[in-house]
Amino acid sequence: MSTFTIKIAERIFAVEAMYPDVERLCADYITESATPEAVFQITEEDIQLERRKCAQEAIYEHRPIPLYPAGTLEETAVLRKLAEYLSRNGDTVMHGVLLDYHGRGVLFTAPSGTGKSTHAENWRKVFPECRIINGDKPVIAVHESAVTGYGTPWAGKEGIHVNASVPLEAIVFLHRSETNQIEEISFQKAIPMLISCVFRSPDRGGVKRAMLTVSSLNGRVKFYSLGCTMDAESAAVACDTIFGGDAPEGGG
């Protein structure tokens, strides 16, 4: 049994885990604060739910069913409880890579295997000063006037994450292409892709909340469609359009 407190996206949560894996995963986010706003207690049922979901996804995607250890499944169970809690309280977890470019945030999203991580690495090659805040599941918080992206420990295969935040200026929908081309798209065009990358629990209430979260992004961030190759030039092409090619004065 492992009990600890974490701070993610300015919120404090207590976690009661059955295995030590998730505490190790959350090491950079552990806090001594004593007043959590929620407690995530993981049970054997939660772990079995994750096992079933993994199996279900593998079946839908026609691949072998993976056999993850219980500790690994518990990490996902905590993420699910976090995402469900956040979705009920105005924030959300999105599937994508969150990049900080001179204090300006951009989220790249696409189905798994499209090349988000490769594209993010291309940004780091071309702009060594930029950093990846989270490589897979950042938290996105929509406030009155701004949207902020936060790091979380759930960072995908590469495990790249920083316990930091950045104002989010753009969401970019990636797809592979023979050439690098980017265009700004309307919120209307972005809606189906946004719904696909925002966390939603499968019940009707969860779907409604996800759709409201998507709606709240309208007018607060810009949306782009990026067809990209796997080479570094794609980052320069994207940056030129999204950020005008220049770092802001005094940014960093």
Partner 1 sequence: MSTAHSAVDIRALFSYTFINTIFLTEAGIFSMKLAFDFEIMELDGEWIAVPVGDEAKRFHGVVNLNEVGAKMMKHISESSTPEEVHQKLCMDYPEDDPKEVGENLCEFLNWLVQQRLLIP
**Residues in the site for partner 1, rule: CB under 8 A?**
56-57, 60, 187-188, 191-192, 195-196, 200, 202-204, 207-208, 210-211, 214-215, 218
Q: How far is the CB of 214 from partner 1 (least distance, A)?
A: 7
Say which residue the tokens 């706003």 belong to. 37
Using the minimum distance from each CB to partner 1, give the nearer residue, 161 or 200.
Answer: 200
CA angle centred on 84, ends 53 and 149, rounded to 5°: 110
Q: Which is nearer to partner 1, 11 or 209 (CB)?
A: 209
- Measured distance CA(100)–CA(155) in Å, rounded: 15
Residue 219 C-beta: closest distance to partner 1, Å: 9
Q: What is the smallest separation between the CB atom of 47 and partner 1, expressed in angstroms?
A: 17
Residues near 113 by beta carbon (within 8 Å), at least 6 away in sequence: none
Nearest distance in Å: CB 97, partner 1: 20
Q: Residue 39 or residue 207: which is nearer to partner 1 going by CB?
A: 207
Taking the complex as a whole, the smallest distance from the CB of residue 192 to partner 1 amounts, in Å, to 5
Q: Considering beta carbons, is residue 211 or 247 the nearer one to partner 1?
A: 211
- In the complex, the smallest distance separating the C-beta of residue 228 from partner 1, rounded to whole angstroms, is 21
Closer by beta carbon to partner 1, 113 or else 252: 113
Q: 160, 153 in Cβ contact below 8 A?
A: no
CB of 161 to partner 1, least distance (A): 25
Token pair, residue 162, equals 């920083």
Cβ proximity to partner 1, 125 vs 208, nearer residue: 208
Between residues 69 and 111, which has the closer beta carbon with respect to partner 1? Answer: 111
